[in-house]
Amino acid sequence: MTDSSSVARRSGPGRPTHREVYERLQVQVEELRENMGGLPLPEEAADIWRGLWYEEAHHSTALEGNTLVLKQVEQLLAEGRAVGNKDLNDYLEVKGYGDAAEWVYSQALRPLGLGQHQQIVTLTEVREIHRVALAPVWEVSPHPNATQAETPGSYRQHDIRPFPGGMTPMSWPLVDAEMTEWARHVNSLDPAVLTFPEALASAHCRFEQIHPFLDGNGRTGRLVLNLVLVRLGFPPAIIYKRDRDRYLRALRRADDGVPAPLGAMLARAVLDSLYRFVLPAVAGPARLVPLEALASTEVSEVALRGAASRGRLQATRGSDGRWRSSRRWVDEYLASRYRRT
């Protein structure tokens, strides 16, 4: 259970408190639902989902040591071409992850964000995600310690050594029962609660503590995390490879019973996906959106905020203290700026 002091704790010098990050996420997702109809359907906004798909497949596999660069990932997933001279397993890892992520994103199609079974997630889906993500590599290079009963999509029947400086996966005979309890907990999550990101962080950490599979638990855990998010109407969270150390530290804190750092990290990752991929594509030229969603290579968020505060950019400041403008107003501001220049 998270107390109010952990929710209010600052995540770094000058950075918003965890509560402020959670409040921002709550406001932005509510605006997405009420003003823009929620997450776009994949066939309505293919470019949005394609950008997220490439980024997640690249960064999530890179967290585990995959060496493909983003351009190689894009060509592999878009064209089915293995470009470069990397190890075959690297290509197969990305292909499997990309296939699994594509299915996860398709779940944004479901009414009310839930599957036909009206649950956020089922254990059958968890095992299927693992099977799809791991099968391509497994067919070429199976885990050396795997038995016939430990193929992709099946729970492990081996104990796993404790991780250096981190958590200790539970004994394998307990995995089945613990996963059943984990699913019950995930299906009771309430996205309307302010501390939802911390509850999500705890569930993500618990999955890694159980470590249900012999291999691929990190990749599967992040895919399942995003299945939960899109089913509940949130954009997916991408953990970037540059943040690997911070992500692992936050997981260790959650393992010690302090989910706030991981919760704040996940909340920021969802907001980043919202600002970078979703809002710019679905807002339309006249829709008011946060300035973060209007920043570009041509003009930064800081410059937009300064222009708004000086009255140069037409914008409104909401009760939450955040500036909002529209693509049309930003275009007008840029045009006037060029005229002044």
CATH of the domain at 251: 1.10.3290.10
Residue where a domain terminates, one of 259, 282, 305? 282
Q: Is 101 within a domain?
A: yes
Q: Is 74 within a domain?
A: yes
Do 149 and 206 share a structural domain?
yes
Do 333 and 278 share a structural domain?
no
Do 295 and 275 share a structural domain?
no
Q: In what order do the strands lie in the sheet with 323-325?
A: 289-290, 323-325, 316-317
How much is the pTM?
0.84
Of 10, 23, 31, the residue nearest 293 (C-alpha): 31
Q: Is 221 within a domain?
A: yes
Residue where a domain terminates, one of 249, 265, 282? 282
Do 242 and 316 share a structural domain?
no
In sequence order, what are the beta bridge partners of 290? 324
Give the pairing of strands 289-290 and 316-317.
unpaired
Do 256 and 315 share a structural domain?
no
Give residue for tokens 């009760």.
Answer: 319
How distant is the alpha carbon of residue 239 from its chain centre?
6
Do 298 and 257 share a structural domain?
no
Distance CA 174, CA 179 (A): 9
Q: Tens of pLDDT along 214-265?
A: 999 999 999 999 999 999 999 999 999 999 999 999 999 999 999 999 999 9
Do 330 and 185 share a structural domain?
no
Q: Is 4 within a domain?
A: no
Query: What is Dmax (Cα atoms) for the chain?
Result: 72
Q: Tens of pLDDT along 94-142?
A: 999 999 999 998 887 554 445 556 789 999 999 999 999 999 999 999 9
Q: Tens of pLDDT along 30-70?
A: 988 887 778 877 666 677 788 899 999 999 999 999 999 99
Do 319 and 233 share a structural domain?
no
Number of domains forming the structure of the chain: 2
Give residue for tokens 């009414």.
Answer: 111
Query: Could you count the other beta carbons within 10 Å of the beta carbon of residue 145?
Result: 11
Is the CB of residue 33 less than 8 Å from the CB of residue 214? no
Residues spanned by the domain of 322:
289-340
Do 318 and 195 share a structural domain?
no
Tell me what pLDDT residue 245 has.
95
Tell me what pLDDT residue 304 has.
92
Whether pLDDT at 341 is above 70:
no
Tell me what pLDDT residue 58 has.
96
